[in-house]
Amino acid sequence: MSQAPGAQPSPPSVYHERQRLELCAVHALNNVLQQQLFSQEAADEICKRPLSQLALPRVLGLILNLPSPVSLGLLSLPLRRRHWVALRQVDGVYYNLDSKLRAPEVLGDEDGVRAFLAAALAQGLCEVLLVVTKEVEEQGSWLQAD
């Protein structure tokens, strides 16, 4: 059946969640998947579970987006801004390479970096990005098999 001249085709049905609270990651996942598959609880569980399953030797580094207090000199203000922090293993030792630190902070071995990540995630409002090679990304091998 043809359309009348000048008639516009009807737009496709597009799933779209609007921002609610601080759940933009959940909304982004659901919007990309075009259905409500993730809840805040499900997303939180996913964040906790891959932490123990991360194949850290296959990860070049981690970048965290954390809440960061705002201060003026010695005065701490009741405001929080977001701050990006890098974690990296060098010669078998993991370091916190936060640009606000005077020098790299030693986190230690894999247990040390996992403890740091767990503490950061427990604060809430923390995002973790993995930096991996293209090969690791294509294979999905940043996670250990169960």
95: number of Cβ within 10 Å: 21
- The closest alpha carbon to 25, from 16, 34, 15, 38, belongs to 38
Is position 126 annotated as part of the catalytic site? no
Active-site residue identified among 24, 27, 47, 126: 24
Active-site residue identified among 27, 47, 83, 126: 83
Which residues make Cβ contacts (< 8 Å) with residue 49, sequence separation at least 6? none
Q: Round to whole Å and give the CA distance between 89 and 39.
A: 33
Is position 27 annotated as part of the catalytic site? no
Which residues make Cβ contacts (< 8 Å) with residue 108, sequence separation at least 6? 93, 94
Q: Round to whole Å and give the CA distance between 123 and 108.
A: 21
Active site amino acids: 24, 83
